[in-house]
Amino acid sequence: MRRGLIDLAILCAIGLLMGFLAPLSWDRISTPVRYLYWMICILGAGGLAITLDAWLSRRIGVLWRRLVAVSVLAAPPTALLVLTAQHLLIGEAYSWPAYLKLSWQAWPILLAVVTVRALVWRRPSPRIQTRILIAPPLPEAEARFRRRLSARRRAARLIAVEAHDHYLKVHTDAGEELITLRFTDALDELSGAHGWRVHRSWWVAAEAVESVRWRRGAGEITLTGGLTAPVSRTHAPALKDAGWRSRTPRPALSANSTLDADASRRHLDR
């Protein structure tokens, strides 16, 4: 119904335009008769062309060929319709020469009508978008390190690894766990995993990073679960190259917070 109403609106608009332009020397008749004449011709011929287009759409796949075929097939009956409208509205007599002339004149008008309709209903070309996807590391990248964890945390989400003397504190979304392993050996086992060494005693998983605060070249990472880790100046470029470049203003320090700020700065420098 919606499509039919839009087709009707298109034909009415074309009929009104033809009545206004008054082609074929029809400006000599009165304005109401001229508009009525063109509305009858355009609506009748357009309805016939739409019917033929629907019938030929299953047989002719190429659009421009179908439009030409529709306009050619619809021209003879359209000429008869036009001749009848002229006879009824202004008393023109039926004649074979007039019919042949109208058949030739109707063809380009019909071609224009079906072309306008085809443009209205033309489907947009499909847009093909390409995206660069960065695949997460394979489970095997962390498998060797995960085998050192307890069964509860072996399949948990890895957040960070923190060095404590000869022990490592492994942070996961299933809790923390202490294991006996040198930090350098842990870094070697996690070399294929998606993460970064951000401090001499910290390694963090890339997917666990939520935000980074920078201060004087060093920084502090906020990880999943509210965990925070320091970023040293030495390892800051790795994070910045990964896109973590945002900075936040350093908060103003009061006299009472000077000692806390100095302690925090020493912790970050480590």
Dump pLDDT digits (tens) for 93-121.
Answer: 788 888 888 888 788 878 887 887 777 77
> Using alpha carbons only, what angle is made at residue 152 by residues 146 and 155, rounded to the nearest 5 degrees?
45
Domain final residue pick, 87, 120, 153: 120
Q: Using CA atoms, how far apart are residues 23 and 20, in angstroms rounded to an integer?
A: 9
Would residue 135 count as lying in a domain?
no
Domain final residue pick, 66, 86, 120: 120
Q: Using CA atoms, how far apart are residues 150 and 24, in angstroms rounded to an integer?
A: 92
In this predicted structure, which of 17-21, 73-77, 171-175 has the lowest mean pLDDT?
A: 17-21
Structure tokens at 161: 């690894």
In this predicted structure, which of 14-18, 68-72, 194-198 has the lowest mean pLDDT?
A: 14-18
Q: Average pLDDT, whole number, for the chain?
A: 78
The mean per-residue pLDDT over the stretch 244-265 comes to 43
Q: Model confidence at 248, in pLDDT bands (50, 70, 90)?
A: very low
Structure tokens at 82: 């036009």
Residues 159 and 208 in one domain: yes
Pick from 53, 59, 97: which is nearest to 74 by CA?
53
Residues 82 and 171 in one domain: no
The mean per-residue pLDDT over the stretch 147-161 comes to 89
CB 224 within 8 A of CB 173: yes
Provide the residue range defining the domain that includes 184. 141-249+258-269
Pick from 158, 185, 182, 180: which is nearest to 171 by CA?
158
Q: Using CA atoms, how far apart are residues 194 and 157, in angstroms rounded to an integer?
A: 12
Domain count, the chain: 2
Residue 254's pLDDT is 37
Residues 161 and 192 in one domain: yes
Residue 231's pLDDT is 92
